[in-house]
Amino acid sequence: MDIEARLQRLEAVEAICRLKHRYFNACDLHELNTVRECFAPGPVSIDYEGVGKFTSVDELLACFEVLMQHPHMRHSHHGANPEIRLVDSRHAIGRWALSYFGLDTRTGATLRMGMIYDDEYLDCDGSWRIVSTRTRVILAVPGQAEAPNAEART
């Protein structure tokens, strides 16, 4: 493989990592339009263990709107350990570890989860997008914060 091809592969992997980070940040910030932009247009396959299975981004966003309508619910998604493999110039697969933390600022209830994402990506006119994603919950630990954060309440 020549240096130009190697550089293109590295740039593709970096673009996919930025895509997944953008998705996690959009989930935390409740930016549903940004979530939409992370997925390829048309049918997709989304299978989030404990949340649901969806064949369109619109279905996923309808679910997210219900989950995110409560401003006292805070979320933190931290993706790590990416394993990205380019299948060809337009297709890639990836696996990510996710560390999730959720907090209900009214009650102090918390949830820590470890999950694995298995994704498929497509280069759509020079922009990588998610076409398939599946999560598996590795662990879930509910808890209780010592005292709800009064300043974070809304």
Return the pLDDT at 152. Answer: 53
- The domains found in the chain, sorted by start residue, are 3-152 (3.10.450.50)
Instruction: State the Cα angle at 114 between 152 and 81, rounded to 5°.
Output: 105
Mean pLDDT along residues 54-77: 92
**DSSP assignment string, 13-48:** HHHHHHHHHHHHHHHHHT-HHHHHHTBPSS--EEEE
Share of the chain above pLDDT 70, in %: 95
- 44: exposed, middle or buried (Cβ count in 10 Å: 0-12, 13-18, 19+): buried
| Whether the model pTM is above 0.75 | yes
Locus of tokens 């309508």: 69
Return the pLDDT at 70. Answer: 85
Mean pLDDT along residues 57-65: 95
